[in-house]
């Protein structure tokens, strides 16, 4: 099997952890008879420095002409004061819309080896395994009109519009239900239907779609209650589906249940074409180039890519098992270090992982 993978190392620790991901793919490729053709492109801060744009047209074109896109991290202090349209994050939004990536899958699974890293009590988080399915290209982030306008009285007024069409809700609902089918068969739809008309519309569509998935148990929660329940009793959740804004907030909250955001991957998928797979952590410019980065979330993003984009579940399983074995052996980067473990840098963590894989 031959696959073309577009690599977007980005900024900060991105190039360091991307190197590890590529090495892992080469080993896996040899073991499973998979041939990977890699093409690299700039995005984010490095793209701004090189071209003046956070997402050059050439980068988007390379991504479109690939089987999957592997992204590391973007952003940093250097570009924080640029106009909004020139910031690294704008490049990420452009990538999502340019590839039609409307569904973001964010797992939050407690690894037994890292359970004490959570800020919540062991009995609360032990066994937690949640998948947050977030709508990615609609809602308040993309709704029109938006901007800062002057009123008739001369006062300025900031406006953003939360809007969803029937088709936008139905397609993310389908992803949510299908994801729940592959997991525990429970789907919780999160909205704010008691206040927002768009949320009531969302709830109505979710309820109507549920008739097509009789094997999935559908429930509804208001977003404020869902946030509370995530820290009160997270084990009640299996799969969560929600809109762009609520999903942005709840997926980060769910990630921190694990206490190790440096361990969490994500996938952004469209109806067709390549998906984008990336760790949920940032570019960590304060430790860039110091061999301190944790590459494991990037490696687990590779596993998600193999599973969801390339349909190679056995290869994905092999990578995930290797990560668990490395943790069982006691190796830790600084962000997940605990007493009695062996602290290593990015390069040594990669060496141990590759050895286990081999």
Active site members: 141, 192, 224, 248, 252
Q: Count H helices, E strands: the chain?
A: 12, 14
HSE value, Cβ hemisphere, 13 Å, CA-based, for 240: 33
Q: What distance in Å separates the CA atoms of residue 42 and residue 122, rounded to the nearest whole number?
A: 41
Label residue 143 exposed, middle or buried (CB < 10 Å: 0-12, 13-18, 19+). middle
Cβ–Cβ < 8 Å for 65, 57: no
CA distance 72 to 77: 17
Q: Is the dihedral of CA 267, 269, 275, 281 positive or negative?
A: negative
User: Given the structure tokens 């999935």, which residue do they identify?
Assistant: 216
Query: 114 near 327, Cβ under 8 Å?
Result: yes
**Residue 159 CA from chain centroid, whole number:** 27
């Amino acid at each position: 099997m031959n696959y073309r993978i577009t690599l977007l190392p980005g900024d900060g620790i991105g190039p360091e952890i991307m190197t590890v991901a590529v090495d892992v793919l080469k080993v896996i490729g040899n073991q499973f008879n998979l041939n990977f053709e890699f093409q690299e492109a700039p995005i984010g801060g490095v793209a701004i420095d090189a071209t003046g744009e956070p997402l050059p047209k050439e980068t988007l074109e390379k991504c479109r002409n690939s089987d999957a896109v592997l992204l590391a991290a973007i952003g940093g202090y250097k570009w924080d004061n640029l106009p909004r349209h020139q910031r690294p994050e704008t490049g990420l939004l452009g990538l999502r819309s340019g590839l039609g990536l409307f569904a973001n899958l964010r797992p939050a699974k407690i690894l037994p080896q890292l359970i004490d890293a959570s800020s919540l009590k062991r009995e609360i988080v032990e066994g937690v395994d949640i998948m947050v399915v977030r709508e990615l290209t609609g809602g308040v982030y993309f709704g029109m009109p938006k901007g800062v306008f002057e009123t008739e009285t001369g006062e300025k007024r900031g406006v953003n519009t939360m809007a969803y069409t029937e088709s936008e809700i139905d397609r993310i609902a389908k992803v949510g239900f299908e994801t729940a089918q592959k997991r525990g068969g429970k789907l919780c739809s999160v909205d704010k239907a008691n206040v927002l008309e768009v949320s009531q519309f969302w709830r109505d569509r979710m309820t109507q779609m549920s008739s097509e998935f009789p094997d999935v148990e559908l429930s509804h929660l208001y977003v404020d209650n869902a946030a509370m329940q995530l820290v009160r009793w997270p084990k009640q959740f299996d799969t969560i589906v929600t809109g762009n804004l609520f999903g942005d907030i709840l997926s980060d909250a769910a990630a921190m249940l694990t206490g190790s955001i440096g361990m969490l991957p994500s996938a952004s998928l469209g109806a067709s074409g390549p998906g984008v797979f990336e760790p949920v952590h940032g570019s960590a410019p304060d430790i860039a180039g110091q061999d301190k980065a944790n590459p494991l979330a990037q490696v687990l993003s590779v596993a998600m890519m193999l599973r969801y984009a390339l349909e190679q579940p056995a290869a994905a399983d092999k990578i995930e098992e290797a990560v668990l074995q490395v943790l069982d052996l006691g190796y830790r980067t600084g962000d997940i270090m605990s007493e009695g473990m062996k602290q290593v840098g990015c390069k040594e963590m990669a060496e141990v992982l590759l050895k286990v894989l081999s």
